[in-house]
Amino acid sequence: MERSLEPAERRARTTLTAGIAASFLGLAIAATLDRTLGGALLVFGWGAAAYAVHRLGRLGGKS
């Protein structure tokens, strides 16, 4: 049976997904269009992903 996610956990997972997507988008832009913009997006994505992983860790595991 699948448990429903708490709002805080849902936000953290959404932020993590957005951070990973921004990192890949930044990498793609840096490789094809503009290194500066792509690098900025990549760093932003890393920061968002690190923040989300921290938030997930602070929520703790619930079984």
Give the pLDDT confidence score for residue 27 in this predicted structure. Answer: 96
Q: Is 22 exposed, middle or buried (0-12, 13-18, 19+ CB in 10 A)?
A: buried
Give the pLDDT confidence score for residue 1 in this predicted structure. Answer: 46
Tens digit of pLDDT for each residue in 18-39? 999 999 999 999 999 999 999 9
DSSP 1-63: -PPPPPHHHHHHHHHHHHHHHHHHHHHHHHHHT-HHHHHHHHHHHHHHHHHHHHHHHHH----
The whole model's pTM is what?
0.84
Instruction: Look over the chain and give the mean of its residue pLDDT values, rounded to a whole number.
Output: 91
Q: Where are the domains of the chain?
A: 7-58
Give the pLDDT confidence score for residue 43 in this predicted structure. Answer: 97
Give the pLDDT confidence score for residue 45 in this predicted structure. Answer: 97
pLDDT band at 60; cut points 50, 70, 90 = confident
